[in-house]
Amino acid sequence: MEELKSTITERRRNTRNKMFRYIYDSEKPVSKQQIAGALGYSLPTVHQNIAELLAAGLIRPGEVQKSTGGRPAVGYTVDEKIRYSVGIAVSASQLRMIITDIKQNEIAFKRIDLESADGSDTGEQIAGELDKFLAENSIDSGRLLGVGVTFPGVIDQERDSIVLSPTLGMKDISLSAVRKPIPFPVFIENDSTSGGAAEWLGLTQKEREEDFVYLFLENGIGGAVFINGKPYLGSCGRSGEFGHMCIVPGGRQCNCGKKGCLEAYCSAFRFTRDLGITAEQFFEGVRAGSEDYAALLDEILDYLAIGINNLRMAFDCNVILGGFVSRLIEPYLPDLRKRVAARNTFGDCAEYLKPGKYPTKAGMMGVAWHFTEQFINEI
């Protein structure tokens, strides 16, 4: 496999990159003629770049199916296995890991129960588990672009710190200390921001033209604001902390130390901490006819509707739900939409409220994409 030529003009690199992206975005192999037609390049230009991408092992030949019959033309497609990325989500009791290929397909997933995640040895724990995970799946570490890690907390890249994670009970944890034991490039991101990035990836090209707000429902509640396909992080990297919007002044105690936050009413801790059962068990109980559970669900949906309507009032765009609680409340989405619509000052439609495509793995998907995107940008 040859290295891609790097001593080329910016214009030539641009052409090569556009061509790779076109092949990457095409679901089926595309012929040189199709590429030339779609991008407006001459056939010799396409030919030269295809030769270079083939020699570097970035694309491989495949058959273009012709509708008119006859001999199929040779086409080109991205070789999914050229590189891999890892996404890891750190939560209060677990590490969850996925390996993705260059096309963002999930290659492997693993969940590991943790004794505790207080931040002091998170890097070591990740390094040890990652080593096993890669070996179990025979991943050539030379092809691993990097390891993305999400935390449910405020991350300040400039100060190199996990400033605060009420869910994990962490404060001022150094990002470098987490990175150090991991023998690969490491990128650390807030879980909701990464989750939003995964949802953005799952949108069609047309849908990507619209901005959206992402509401992430897990043990904590977070979120992200995506404008022009990029997260709006805010002045202090704390945008989208929707879990700590006050919805009941002086209300229930929140993990953050304040009272009446959305998180205190609608997070999975309502089941796990308050009732001592899993979120799944709670919803099974609702289905089995428990009146107490039904009353609690009714309360949760009402408060969630307040939070969602507040987001709609503030941002006037689609609201995408994510996190494992969103998967469990999906059967109640029509009900939730009704409650949300009833609160809307300007209209009675709540179709803007949408279920996410990756309710349980969005954070890992999004943070793994960080390295894949970087790789594609550099072709």
Task: Report the interface residues with Zn ion, using CB under 5 A.
Answer: 244, 254, 256, 258, 261
In the complex, minimum distance from the CB of residue 120 to Zn ion, in angstroms, rounded to a whole number: 24
In the complex, minimum distance from the CB of residue 216 to Zn ion, in angstroms, rounded to a whole number: 14
In the complex, minimum distance from the CB of residue 303 to Zn ion, in angstroms, rounded to a whole number: 13
Between 171 and 354, CB nearer to Zn ion: 171
In the complex, minimum distance from the CB of residue 255 to Zn ion, in angstroms, rounded to a whole number: 6
In the complex, minimum distance from the CB of residue 269 to Zn ion, in angstroms, rounded to a whole number: 12
> Token pair for residue 179?
């990175």
Between 18 and 258, CB nearer to Zn ion: 258
Between 265 and 293, CB nearer to Zn ion: 265
Task: Please choose, from the candidates 168, 148, 143, 153, the residue with its C-alpha nearest in 3D space to the C-alpha of residue 98.
Answer: 148
In the chain, the amino acid numbered 86 is V
In the complex, minimum distance from the CB of residue 321 to Zn ion, in angstroms, rounded to a whole number: 19
Between 15 and 255, CB nearer to Zn ion: 255
Q: Are 162 and 170 in contact (CB under 8 A)?
A: yes
Between 131 and 299, CB nearer to Zn ion: 299
Q: Are 28 and 64 in contact (CB under 8 A)?
A: yes
* C-alpha dist (Å) from residue 109 to 87, 105, 134, 327: 10, 11, 11, 18
CA–CA dist 304, 320 (Å, integer): 13
Strand pairing of 84-90 and 144-151? Answer: parallel
Between 38 and 236, CB nearer to Zn ion: 236
Between 73 and 256, CB nearer to Zn ion: 256
* C-alpha dist (Å) from residue 298 to 126, 265, 305, 368: 39, 11, 11, 36
Q: Are 341 and 349 in contact (CB under 8 A)?
A: yes
Between 19 and 254, CB nearer to Zn ion: 254
Which are the contacts of 273, defined by CB distance < 8 A and separation ≥ 6? Answer: none
In the chain, the amino acid numbered 318 is N
In the complex, minimum distance from the CB of residue 202 to Zn ion, in angstroms, rounded to a whole number: 29
Which are the contacts of 105, defined by CB distance < 8 A and separation ≥ 6? Answer: 80
In the complex, minimum distance from the CB of residue 258 to Zn ion, in angstroms, rounded to a whole number: 5
* C-alpha dist (Å) from residue 337 to 2, 13, 164, 342: 54, 47, 32, 8
CA–CA dist 226, 200 (Å, integer): 8
